[in-house]
Homo-oligomer: A and B are copies of this chain.
């Protein structure tokens, strides 16, 4: 597969995983990400050092991931919203045991069974920890096919480097859409850094234990602060974003993933009409690029957060901005995909300080707290 190829997002992710040295996949089917396990099944069937298991459930698959990671493998699982909810206990354990793992969530409309259309309602679950206890996931949010390839490679490296689970957060559209992609050279599994903590039998060394139980509260607190320090470090080292035409912008739209590319289209159109608008796209949702956004908030009048949900990331934006500029929100939840034209209209009416937006649903926060502009 040399040069550019046209592939759907799920397949791009699968191929990038194989090239990143992923040799274990455990999952359970769910739309809209079935083409990923299907790709892994086909790819691994041709390799003799790789394992694909279609588990009996998402709960089983996340625990198989735990086992494979304990055994030292670069391992991945994937699902979509309801299936990811079922993995929460396992994810909390994996984080607590400081095991590397890559977890893919191709979000669909929710809550509940919802639908299979692209949505962004799982931001909180991904970034604040849907599982119990103090832990974080590194959350990468690709917006383009090429980025899926690049971030997948990055995800496996980060997971091993920090010994922590990493989530790739996409949506049905990211997964189904085909775009031209170029892949990096495959990594040789042998070339990957050795792991001296895995369980592979106590041959010529003391036996090891990998655990998350610390009945002694002092030890449990120690674990909690060790994790907290690790997360601090990650926050400093990893936060990343795309900034598009923000330098002279009076208004910027903040969006990630599919919503961001649509918002970018909106910004593009408005710039043609001379409006000073820009885009801020977090590429890492956790750690959230707060520092950068905080800096921007000093010389920008307002930010419009656009999400395919009723408003989740907007909280992290407000945390970063801390009232230094106006923050308003525009949302299209439930699998509805807004058009660039629609976003352009929303932004220009915000730009011209129109009170409320057509369609969708919107809210805004002035420096003095919270007001609701009603919703569609």
A interface residues with partner B (beta carbon < 8 Å): 59, 81-82, 84-86, 88-89, 92-93, 95-97, 107, 109-117, 119, 121-122, 124-125, 128-135, 211-225, 227-229, 232, 290-291, 294, 309-312, 315, 318-320, 322-324, 332-336, 361, 367-370, 372, 375-376
Q: Nearest chain B CB to A305's CB is how many angstroms away?
A: 14
| Cα of A85 to Cα of B319 in the assembled complex, Å | 26
Q: Can you list 11 A-B pairs with a CB-CB distance of less than 8 A?
A: A81-B132, A88-B130, A109-B217, A114-B220, A115-B217, A116-B215, A121-B224, A224-B333, A225-B361, A290-B369, A315-B315
Contact status A335-B220, CB under 8 Å? yes
Residues of B within 8 A of A219 (CB): 334
Contact status A133-B121, CB under 8 Å? yes
Task: Indicate whether A334 sits within 8 Å of B132 (C-beta atoms), given known contacts A220-B117, A225-B376.
Answer: no
| Cα of A96 to Cα of B114 in the assembled complex, Å | 8
Residues of B within 8 A of A82 (CB): 89, 92, 132
Contact status B112-A134, CB under 8 Å? no
Identify A96's interface contact among B110, B214, B320, CB under 8 A.
Answer: B110
| Cα of A124 to Cα of B137 in the assembled complex, Å | 13
Task: Indicate whether A315 sits within 8 Å of B319 (C-beta atoms), given known contacts A133-B114, A361-B225.
Answer: yes
Identify A110's interface contact among B85, B92, B215, B232, CB under 8 A.
Answer: B92
Residues of B within 8 A of A361 (CB): 225, 228
Contact status B323-A114, CB under 8 Å? no
Residues of B within 8 A of A107 (CB): 132
Identify A130's interface contact among B115, B131, B213, CB under 8 A.
Answer: B131
Contact status B129-A124, CB under 8 Å? yes
Q: Nearest chain B CB to A343's CB is how many angstroms away?
A: 16
Residues of B within 8 A of A370 (CB): 290-291
Contact status B323-A217, CB under 8 Å? no
Among A129, A212, A375, max chain B CB count under 10 A is at: A129
Q: Nearest chain B CB to A177's CB is how many angstroms away?
A: 17
Contact status A92-B115, CB under 8 Å? no
Q: Nearest chain B CB to A69's CB is how many angstroms away?
A: 14
Identify A132's interface contact among B125, B220, B323, CB under 8 A.
Answer: B125
Closest residue of chain B to A232 (Cβ to Cβ) is B372
Contact status A111-B130, CB under 8 Å? no
| Cα of A315 to Cα of B318 in the assembled complex, Å | 10
Contact status B334-A220, CB under 8 Å? yes
Contact status A333-B130, CB under 8 Å? no
Contact status B110-A134, CB under 8 Å? yes
Residues of B within 8 A of A211 (CB): 113
